[in-house]
């Protein structure tokens, strides 16, 4: 009789251990899936955010879209504004500089 109850105890312990391992495995799969979905969404939104204010130009690549005002584009209080020429500025510039004037242009890659 004692041997039979000992077998039942071992069987119950094995069953509980297997159920516990199954739960841990399912939680790990769910966590990994959530992480993969998070990374996919992050990549999608990063790509879409640049597409909101740039357009492809065959000569020079990507250019700013003209006349944009996107509130909080880069965080609270960090807006994006472009002029009619697509530059990050609020005023337009004359195509030719004034006589004796200088222009400084800065490009980042």
- pLDDT by 10s per residue, the chain, length 109: 566 677 778 888 999 999 999 999 999 999 999 989 988 888 776 665 666 788 888 988 888 899 999 888 878 888 889 999 998 888 898 888 888 888 887 777 6
Structure tokens at 38: 């998070």
**Three-state SS sequence of 14-55:** HHHHHHHHHHHHHHHHHHHHHHHHHHHHHHHHHHHHHHCCEE
pLDDT at 50: 60
**Residues 61, 55: Cα–Cα separation, whole Å:** 8
Question: What does the domain layout of the chain look like in residue ranges?
Answer: 1-51, 55-109
**Residues 62, 51: Cα–Cα separation, whole Å:** 10
């Amino acid at each position: 009789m004692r041997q039979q109850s000992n077998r039942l105890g071992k069987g119950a312990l094995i069953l509980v251990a297997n159920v516990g391992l199954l739960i841990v495995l399912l939680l790990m799969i769910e966590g990994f899936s959530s992480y993969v979905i998070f990374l996919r969404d992050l990549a999608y939104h990063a790509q879409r955010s640049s597409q909101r204010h740039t357009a492809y130009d065959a000569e020079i690549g990507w250019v700013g879209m003209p006349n944009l005002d996107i509130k909080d584009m880069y965080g609270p209080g960090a807006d994006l504004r472009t002029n009619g020429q697509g530059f990050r500025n609020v005023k337009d510039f004359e195509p030719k500089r004034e006589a004796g004037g200088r222009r400084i242009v800065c490009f980042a890659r």
